[in-house]
Amino acid sequence: MGYAEGLSNGFVVRDVELLKNIMIKDFDYFPDRRTFDAKGDPHIGKMLIFLKGEEWKQMRSALSPTFTTGKIKRMFNMFQATGRKFVRYIHTELGQGNISYLFQCVTNFK
């Protein structure tokens, strides 16, 4: 599905198999994706999703061996435990009436 955003054109992939090919098998052919404003934080600006061109390719080559399917499967329990801990934290904060604090945390990155 195509769309226009200002002077830029884009598309949204809705076919699961095509999306798998783009995100896994043919990932090298799609280095420059949609960008977000990360100028305020030097660490966020260096995240893989914000890099473009050669800088993206170098970073992806360095990170790819770290995130193999087997390694991610072995880390799943840690991800799950961290997610549960985060949900408990949010419930605690909401229970204490800290809604504005939580809103500030999740909207801090523009």
pLDDT tens track for 50-82: 777 888 888 888 888 888 888 889 999 999 999
Q: Is residue 93 part of a domain?
A: yes
Q: Is residue 59 part of a domain?
A: no
Supply 91's token pair. 């419930």
pLDDT of residue 37: 64
Q: Is residue 84 part of a domain?
A: yes
Comparing 19-33, 54-68, 93-107, the range with the smallest average pLDDT is 19-33
Q: Is residue 21 part of a domain?
A: no
Q: Is residue 101 part of a domain?
A: yes
**Domains: count for the chain:** 1
**97: containing domain:** 68-110
- Residue 1 CA to residue 85 CA, distance in Å, equals 37
On the question of pLDDT at 32 being above 70, the answer is: no
Supply 40's token pair. 């305020």
Instruction: Look up the pTM and report it.
Output: 0.45
Q: Is residue 80 part of a domain?
A: yes
- Residue 69 CA to residue 54 CA, distance in Å, equals 25
Q: Is residue 91 part of a domain?
A: yes
Average pLDDT for 13-25: 82
| Dihedral sign computed on CA atoms, order 80, 86, 89, 93 | negative
Q: How far apart, in Å, are the Cα atoms of 86 and each of 2, 78, 104?
A: 36, 12, 16
Q: Is residue 95 part of a domain?
A: yes
